[in-house]
Structure 1
Amino acid sequence: MSETFRYRLRTPGGGLAANLSAQALTSLDAPAHRLRIHRDVYLAAPGEIYWLDLAWLSFGLRLHAEYLSTRHKNGLVVKVLSLDFPLSDYRSEVAALAMDGWVRQACNAPDIGARARYDQERARVTFDWGIPADPFDGVTEMNY
């Protein structure tokens, strides 16, 4: 069964928005083409997606990958069905926040502190990824 998470952040100039529809599958039900995020946690992308959106979706899933890996001993594949957004209210980083929200909603994962906020002083949106602070912190060929 698929679930949809709707990410929204209102700002004086509009905001950020994205709708992510996805479903959680076991490795046995998974599509052949998928990205390995961590151990036995995978991401299956929709047929066509912008590379930067895919990178941020992957990062959003990576934020929860260790938690998911310990709870899904037979593996988990998050199959993205769609990522929809208005072009005027979107930045690729929002894909990570939408994935973070989807994982918390669909898999009962804890809130790790990933956030976007509007910085009034600088008149721009800033992102905080919780832990790890850097999207690719600690990522090496040996620890995935």
Structure 2
Amino acid sequence: MITSYADLISEARNQSEPQRLLFVFCRAELPEDASEAEKANFERGEGGALTPVVCVDKTIAEVPEFDVIAEESRKTGQAWDVVFVAAMSGRGGVEPSSDEARQPMTMMVESIRLGHIGNYLPLDPAGQALSLN
């Protein structure tokens, strides 16, 4: 079971084909038409909508520790609350390129916008896995 970014990296390194990681950083936001109950829940850190603010693909070698990708995300100036991570397998011992990751990344962002997050690993700003309901 993957409970952290370190677990994810370990698992990715154990795959038979090299992996490319897809990251979608999201900010929790409260819709303008939120009810008073929804506003109260949001103030307690519950509910809201996840809005993608930054996305990037990286090889495992580029981001061996969570601090590396977290620091890179801070340099964008975009605040975020959760990052979703997915992995793409290479073929024939060759890791996928950024060009090959473009379409899956677009689909991942759209999927998250629609609230379909079950296929991705959600991590908090410390790199620990989250359980989202």
The TM-score bracket by the shorter chain reads under 0.3
Bigger relative contact order, structure 1 or 2, given CA contacts below 8 A and separation 6+?
Answer: 2
Q: Scaled by the length of structure 2, what TM-score is found?
A: 0.28
Q: Scaled by the length of structure 1, what TM-score is found?
A: 0.26
More strand by share: 1
